[in-house]
Amino acid sequence: MTSLEGKLILDYLKKNNLQYFLQHTQKFPPKKRYHPKTTINQEAWLALKDDPIPEPEETPIKTCVFLTNNKCSIYPVRPMSCRAMVSSTPCHKTGHAAMTSFQMSVATLFYQFIEMLDINGDYGNYLDILEVLTISPETQSIQLILVKSFLLKNQRIYQVMMPPEHRDELIPIMDEIQCIFHTKT
């Protein structure tokens, strides 16, 4: 997620006295977390240049720290990657979500604009983002230095990732996003 999304989550935790969730981040030490190698907009830039896109790290799937009794504890402020995750079949039966390529294209469009909305922010594992936002920069702890080293800088959109077969349906969605984007920025 982006640091913008992280700030929304932290505000929500504070307003609802749920800060204790932040202690759960310690269940997963930084070196054992999944760390993206590119942001979405970096990926689009690499694709534009026909450069190889780094393969994602293989990390064991872990349960999200915000999942309580099979419910999301931060549902109103969950990150976009959670909002965009839909499945046409119950995930517990197969272990993964069944998404169409069109749903993936719509999700990617939103990810690209959210990254640009947070252009001065960071991008990374949700636990890394939350830790960097909560550990005071003055502490300069080893943990903070380590976690910061895993974060990537958000990028602007160089190219919208829009497969030709989805273009007609995606363009009106992108126009709507751009309208919202321009009224907010």
- Residues found near ligand SF4 in the complex (CB under 6 A): 64, 66-67, 72, 74, 78, 82
Q: Is 17 left (phi over 0), alpha (psi -120 to 50) or beta?
A: left
Q: Which residues contact 81 (CB under 8 A, 6 or more apart)?
A: 1, 107, 111
Q: How far is the CB of 62 from ligand SF4 (least distance, A)?
A: 10
Instruction: Tell me whether residue 72 or residue 180 sits nearer to ligand SF4 (CB atom).
Output: 72
Instruction: Tell me whether residue 33 or residue 78 sits nearer to ligand SF4 (CB atom).
Output: 78
Instruction: Tell me whether residue 78 or residue 166 sits nearer to ligand SF4 (CB atom).
Output: 78
Cα dihedral across residues 35, 39, 44, 47: positive or negative: negative
The H or E element spanning position 141 is none
Q: How far is the CB of 60 from ligand SF4 (least distance, A)?
A: 15
Instruction: Tell me whether residue 65 or residue 161 sits nearer to ligand SF4 (CB atom).
Output: 65
Q: How far is the CB of 74 from ligand SF4 (least distance, A)?
A: 5
Instruction: Tell me whether residue 34 or residue 66 sits nearer to ligand SF4 (CB atom).
Output: 66
Q: How far is the CB of 126 from ligand SF4 (least distance, A)?
A: 7
Q: Would you call 139 helix, strand, or coil by DSSP?
A: helix
Q: How far is the CB of 6 from ligand SF4 (least distance, A)?
A: 11
As a whole number of angstroms, the distance between CA 68 and CA 138 comes to: 33
- Pairing outcome for strands 122-123 and 152-153: antiparallel
Helix and strand numbers (H, E) in the chain are 8, 4
